[in-house]
Chain A
Amino acid sequence: MNIHAGNMSAGVNNMQPPLLEVRDLTVEFATRRGTVQAVKQVDLTLAKGETLGIVGESGSGKSVTSYAVMRILDRAGRIAEGTISFGGVDIGTASEGQVRALRGREMSMIFQNPRAALNPIRKVGKQIEDVLIEHVQAQPGDAKEKAIEVLKAVRIARPEERYHAYPFELSGGMCQRIVIALALACRPQLLIADEPTTGLDVTTQKAVMDLVVELTRERNMSTILITHDLGLAAAYCDRVMVMEKGKVVETANAEAVFRAPQHAYTRKLMRATPRKGVTLRDLLPEDAAPAAPAPTAPVEGAGTPLLIVENLVKEYPRQTPTSGMAGLFGIKGAAADPFRAVDGISFSVARGESLGLVGESGCGKSTTSMMLMRLVDPTSGRIVFKGEELSAIPAKRFAGSKWRSRIQLVFQDPTDSLNPRYTAARAIADPLMQMGSGLSGKALRAKVEELAGLVGLPVHLLDRFPHQLSGGQKARVGIARAIAPDPDLVILDEPTAALDVSVQAVVLNLLQDLKQRLGMSYIFVSHDLEVVRMLCDRVIVMRTGRIVEEGATEAIMAAPKAEYTRELLASIPHPPI
């Protein structure tokens, strides 16, 4: 599934000077607590036509390195030491005008979160024109024509129409194509892709990466791919550089890094990456104490259905384009069919079972989980929980019902889902206080400490505020809060999507242990099939509001029946091991 051109390009270009050469690069940031070195003595060479992957977790300095190369560090950052030589130009000492002329014309960058990377109030075609005109690749007269050509080059359907679109009118994948178009408009020699597919669906990711590879090969460009995803780096890079805490720990041929990782950190990263044929335990570091088998609580009536969903439908009114006088007087045109976000799905969850809900953005998995959480009322269909028809209770009044504490949610973003003014202890105690547990004072504190112990959150962190906690710690607070009212069912909405792989590994194992210990059922919403495989007994694959395929996880992963499931599985980039 990946074609390596690495050996070839390295052989051919050995004689030429490298396009980019970084020596001893140290980047410092002035912060309130003094100077912090974000990048320490980094060496890097990149030959013409070569693709280099920079891999590391958050805080490893991988993005800062690339910002230094483009010299777009923000105000607080500066290159403290070292040299950056790009095509013979010393980036460190060149004038701002010189570097500006290189940016966009000779070296370009694409970013994560493509929608935010585009000017929200300027037509995308105009934004491309701006770059073309800036670098004298077009005159105001022919700029539009050339911009449309550039849009065509990144395989945008109906480019003449898209030229007039604003970023908010385009999908995430489409926005990323525009960002690529912007970067490649002037045919630069170097492309730096900073997490270009984070937040995109796995099939969109594949389409975007394939496009980048195709265009850069075609033009014999050099590429730096910055990613936290080892699989992605393995699939698309010739060489890989692993960074940890601002330092390069290992640089080698892509295959070599993955087959025989030299550095302990690389090995740890490798282990933590979800991949074929491993269990959750395998993700944890080798030296981690062998997890004591969690005392398994005998699940009451295990296997009997806890939740039954029948023919669940959620419709949203479509925005009807009314115009002219009719619109003026509020007369609507012929009523358009409402949009069916969830289109008649039925399934059940047994006690003690974990069910995976998989699909791409817009497939209806989030709407489904919102309805199960009883935050949104279904248009029709039944939700039966422990024999009680929950869909009969309106969402508005559900918070006051006794069922609220039975179904809880762990949110996707561990930061945004915590009140910034609540300490960890207060956040965990919140559901206990809201749902009338009757606990207060010391008893409440003791319960919170017990919960913190369950999720492995050190007690001394309980009095900290969210901004004083790491991503993994915040995730633990979110989980502790969800299990506080001792629920029967926990809905996990991509709980690890925002975490580094090593933290993800720990959190996933924690979730698994908690489930066994407390005898809960899980509904695990995710787009990451490998994670779902490890955590879930059964999986449901959704697309456009319908269930495409349903069955035991291992069976579906091994032999998917639906064409769509096969496509999803094929899009996952894997490390070559």
Chain B
Amino acid sequence: MLKQIVRRLGTAVPSLIGVVIVTFLLTRVLPGDTAAYFAGPAATPQAIAEIKTKLGLDQRLPVQFLAYVKDLATGNLGMSLTTGQPVFEDIRARLPASAELTLLGLLLSVAVSVPLGILAAVRQGSWIDHLCRVVATAGVSLPVFFTGLLLVYVFYYKLGWAPAPMGRLDFIYSAPDTVTGFYLIDSLIAGDVELFRAAWSQIWLPAVTLAIFSLAPIARMTRASMLSVLASDFVRTARASGLKPSKVVMGYAFRNALLPVITTLGMVFSFLLGANVLVEKVFAWPGIGSYAIEALITSDYAPVQGFVLAMAILYVLLNLAIDILYGLVDPRVRIEA
């Protein structure tokens, strides 16, 4: 198992090198002159040149690249010109916020969509199958900012069940000591139930927004995968052996149907993590998506590079986790690895 993990990590090295090169080049060819932006509209050409020199932007590209790689190797992702903080610190503070939100959203989504998909497959053509189709289609066809605003309108403005959408915690609370960076978990570790409640009341609305959006791919994939497995020979054998329907569906069919569902989960997760900018904006969530967008708009290279790099590493780890999960679910995968 360890061998497999090490080998899988090894295959990720070339793609990471590629990401480093591409992020470097991409940010350099983007339109917009950083130095000019920071010097302000009234800056003299002299002042701009000065800033260029300070940032090393007057050097030739290969030299800039070498400097960039050297910095990376020492864990220095550069300074964000917008926040004035080291990019590494910014990402470390914001990535857990995004990850917590995305994971919770995905968890809620799985809790609904997987059972829905299974039921839709087992009772194909029944009302629950149609419900599954309607819910999934509706969820994916409404833009997240719309669902988000709708939920805020209903649950905050009309019903008052949720606090104002103002970030991870109400200002009267202070964040728990950082262990995992996830407020829900950290507050429990600290034994502070009230803080947990406060964090929960902030996170559940955006999480539900994300969940609604990601219902469709997971529910549809579960249904399709279950349908094909339920029609296979070994399910017939299980039924002919008199096994209970619950055993046939969950023990035999579902475990076999799991592989494509896990693949979809991985894809949805990595997609949401980077793409939930709109949800972060609507709920003033201090996440990594909105951070990257702001940096991009101001032609602030370092945070954009840091963001892409962090995402790439995360993606590699995620794929590794999925591969390991495959191996746990399907013994045939273990052999091939």
A179 contacts B237, C-beta separation under 8 Å:
yes
Residues of chain B lying within 8 A (CB to CB) of residue A105: 242
Q: How far is the CB of A230 from chain B (nearest CB, A)?
A: 25
Query: Which chain A residues lie closer than 8 Å to B242 at the CB level?
Result: 100-105, 131, 134-135
CB pair A130–B247 under 8 Å, yes or no, is: yes
Q: A111-B233, A117-B236, A130-B251 are in contact. Are A182 and B256 (CB under 8 A)?
A: no
Does A111 contact B124, Cβ atoms closer than 8 Å?
no
Interface membership of B141, Cβ < 8 A: no
Asked if residues B329 and A121 are in contact (CB atoms below 8 Å), the reply is yes
Give A75 to B256 CA distance when docked, in angstroms. 21
Q: State in angstroms the CA–CA spacing of A104 and B243 once bound together.
A: 8
Q: For residue B335, give the distance in angstroms from its CB to the closest CB of chain A.
A: 8
By a CB distance below 8 angstroms, the chain B residues around A131 are 241-243
Q: How far is the CA of A168 from the CA of B331 in the complex (A)?
A: 9
Residue contact A72 to B252, C-beta cutoff 8 Å: no
B240 & A70 in contact (Cβ 8 Å cutoff): yes
Residue B244 at the chain A interface, CB threshold 8 Å: yes
A70 to B244 alpha-carbon distance, docked (Å): 15
Chain A residues contacting B240 (CB-CB under 8 Å) are: 70, 72, 103-104, 108-109
**B3 at the binding interface (Cβ < 8 Å):** yes
Bound-complex Cα distance A223 to B242 (A): 18
Residues of A within 8 A of B29 (CB): none
Q: How many A-B residue pairs have CB under 8 A?
A: 80
Residue pair B247, A134 in contact (C-beta under 8 Å): yes
B197 at interface by CB-CB < 8 Å: no
Q: Does B130 contact A (CB under 8 A)?
A: no
Inter-chain contact B239/A72, CB cutoff 8 Å:
yes
Nearest A residue to B251, CB-CB: A130
Chain B residues closer than 8 Å to A120, beta-carbon distance? 234, 256, 330, 332
The CA-CA distance from A328 to B1 in the complex, in Å, is: 10
Q: Please state if A111 and B243 are interface contacts (CB–CB under 8 Å).
A: no
Interface 0/1 of A95-127, CB less than 8 Å to B? 000001111110011010100111111100000
Interface residues of B in 194-218 (CB under 8 A from A): none
Q: Among B239, B241, B256, find the residue whose CB has the most chain A CB atoms closer than 10 A.
A: B241
The residues of A that contact B243 with a CB separation of less than 8 Å are 104, 130-131, 134
Q: Is A453 an interface residue (CB 8 A)?
A: no
B329 touches A328 (CB 8 A): no
Task: Verify A108–B234 contact, CB threshold 8 A.
Answer: no
A interface residues, how many (CB within 8 angstroms): 32
CA distance A253 to B66 in the complex (A): 89
Given A104-B243, A121-B255, A168 contacting B237 (CB threshold 8 A): no
CA distance A270 to B148 in the complex (A): 72
Shortest Cβ distance from residue B146 to the other chain A in the assembled complex, whole angstroms: 38
B332 touches A103 (CB 8 A): no
**Chain B, residue nearest A330 (CB):** B7
Give complex CA distance A100, B239 in Å: 8
Instruction: Provide the bound-state CA to CA distance between A108 and B236, in Å.
Output: 12
| Min CB gap B10→A, angstroms | 10
What is the CA–CA distance of A182 and B335 in the complex, to the nearest angstrom? 26
Q: Is the CB of B244 within 8 A of A100?
A: yes
Counting CB contacts under 8 A, is B2 at the interface?
yes
Complex CA distance for A75 and B251, rounded to whole angstroms: 21
Return the chain A residue nearest B329 by Cβ.
A121
Q: How far is the CA of A69 from the CA of B331 in the complex (A)?
A: 35
Do B256 and A121 touch across chains, with their CB atoms under 8 A apart? yes
A327 close to chain B: CB less than 8 A: yes
With contacts A116-B233, A119-B234, A166-B332 taken as known, whether A328 is within 8 angstroms of B241 at the C-beta atoms is no
Residues of B near A70 (CB, < 8 A) are: 240
By beta carbon, the residue of chain A nearest B239 is A72
Q: Taking CB as reference atom, which chain B residue is nearest A168? A: B332
Q: B238 at the A/B interface (Cβ < 8 Å)?
A: yes
Q: Cβ of B42 < 8 Å from any Cβ of A?
A: no
A101 contacts across to B, CB distance below 8 A: 242
Q: What 1/0 flags go to B212-254 for Cβ under 8 Å of A?
A: 0000000000000000000111101111111110010001100
- Which B residue sits closest to A323, measured CB to CB? B3
B6 on the A face (CB < 8 A): yes
Complex contacts, B330 vs chain A, CB 8 Å: 120-121
**Counting chain B CB atoms within 10 Å of each CB, which of A119, A122, A168, A179 scores highest?**
A119
Report the Cα distance A113→B236, complex, angstroms: 12
Q: Which residues of B contact A117 (CB under 8 A)?
A: 233-234, 236-237
Which of B3, B242, B251, B330 has most A Cβ within 10 Å?
A: B242
Within 8 A of B (CB), among A59-109: 70, 72, 74-75, 100-105, 108-109
Question: Which residues of B lie under 8 Å from residue A118 when comparing CB positions?
Answer: 234, 237
Q: Which B residues touch A103, using CB under 8 A? A: 239-242
Cβ of B241 and Cβ of A182 under 8 Å apart? yes
Residue contact B241 to A119, C-beta cutoff 8 Å:
no
Shortest distance in angstroms between A191's beta carbon and chain B's nearest beta carbon? Answer: 11
User: Cβ of B237: which chain A residues have Cβ within 8 Å of it?
Assistant: 109, 111, 117-119, 179, 182
A119–B252 touching, CB < 8 Å: yes
User: B88: shortest Cβ distance to chain A, in Å?
Assistant: 31
Q: How far, in angstroms, from A296 to B256 measured CA to CA in the complex?
A: 56
A179 to B242, CA, bound (A): 14
What residues of chain B lie closer than 8 Å to A111, measured between beta carbons?
233, 236-237
User: Which of chain A's residues has its CB closest to B259's CB?
Assistant: A121
Kindly list chain A residues whose C-beta atoms are within 8 Å of the C-beta of B239: 72, 103
How distant is B121 from chain A, measured CB to nearest CB, in Å?
11
Closest to A100 in B: B242
In the complex, what residue of chain B is closest to A103 when comparing beta carbons?
B242
Chain B residues with CB under 8 A of A102: 242
A121 touches B332 (CB 8 A): yes
Between A and B, 9 residue pairs with Cβ closer than 8 Å are: A72-B236, A104-B243, A109-B237, A113-B233, A117-B233, A121-B255, A121-B329, A134-B243, A168-B332
Assuming A111-B237, A183-B241, what are 17 further A-B pairs, CB within 8 angstroms? A70-B240, A100-B244, A102-B242, A103-B239, A105-B242, A109-B237, A109-B240, A111-B233, A117-B233, A119-B238, A120-B234, A131-B242, A166-B332, A168-B332, A168-B335, A179-B237, A182-B237
Top 3 nearest A-B pairs (CB, nearest first) are A104-B242, A103-B242, A104-B241
